[in-house]
Structure 1
Amino acid sequence: MESDEKYRRAKRRVAAIKGFYIHLIAYIAVITLLFFIDFLTPGGWWFYWALLGWGIGIIAHALTIFGITGLFGSDWEEKKIAELMNKTNKE
């Protein structure tokens, strides 16, 4: 049973990483398209607002997927559940 759980966790992790890379590819494609539209139209530069706003979202997504923050991730959830279960068992 433990190997089934490890497999499911690994499968979820791979799906999350795949989702991040799809998000990143869409970001690059759309920002490139917006840059060329902005370049070809008269007026001031505006594409960088989308670059900045969506870029913050990409960074946040990367931080959660690759565990750089580690705050409230799945590992944290499992540790917290185990901690609370142990605390309840002691009472």
Structure 2
Amino acid sequence: MTPEDIEQLARRRANAKLGWYMHALVFVLVNAVIFMMSRYAFGDRPWSVYPLLGWGLGLVLHAVSVFVLGSGSGFRERMVHKERERLQRERDKG
């Protein structure tokens, strides 16, 4: 990889992580407000758990896409490396 490629990949990874951190911050702030509303404004009904669970699932999937499957992640790089080796073995046989 050239230094420019490394710089571009580093920026893309940093932006993806920053995007997740912002998503997590908004998740915490909004769900805190929703919890307070459900607790104090609308009685003691635990309806705030439903948006928390739904959005929480989205946040977890976002984390997986950024930290596990994201561009340049170790998992993805290992898969690409294995696939490249398999294709090279097939090419060398045939």
What TM-score results when the alignment is normalised by the length of structure 1?
0.75
- 5 Å matches for 1:39-58? 39=39, 40-42=41-43, 44-58=45-59
Native 8 Å contact 2:13 2:71 kept in 1: no
1:8 counterpart residue number: 8
Q: Structure 1: 5+ residue runs without aligned partners?
A: none
For 2:7 and 2:47, locate their aligned partners in 1 and report how far apart those are by CA, in whole Å: 45
SS at match of 1:42: coil
What TM-score results when the alignment is normalised by the length of structure 2?
0.73
1:30 counterpart residue number: 30
1:74 has 2:75 as partner:
no
Question: Could you give the per-residue CA deviations for residues 9-50 of structure 1, whole angstroms, max 9, x where no partner exists?
Answer: 000000000000000000000000000100121363210001
CA displacement at 1:65 relative to structure 2: 1.3
Q: Structure 1 or 2: larger helix share?
A: 2
Question: Quick one: structure 1 residues 38 and 27, their matched pair in 2 at CA, closer, same or farther if it must change by over 3 Å?
Answer: same
1:59 counterpart residue number: 60
**Count of residue correspondences:** 86
Greater relative contact order structure (CA < 8 Å, 6+ sep): 2
* Amino acid in structure 1 at the alignment position of 2:64: L
* Amino acid in structure 2 at the alignment position of 1:63: V
State, as a whole percentage, how many aligned pairs show the same letter. Answer: 27
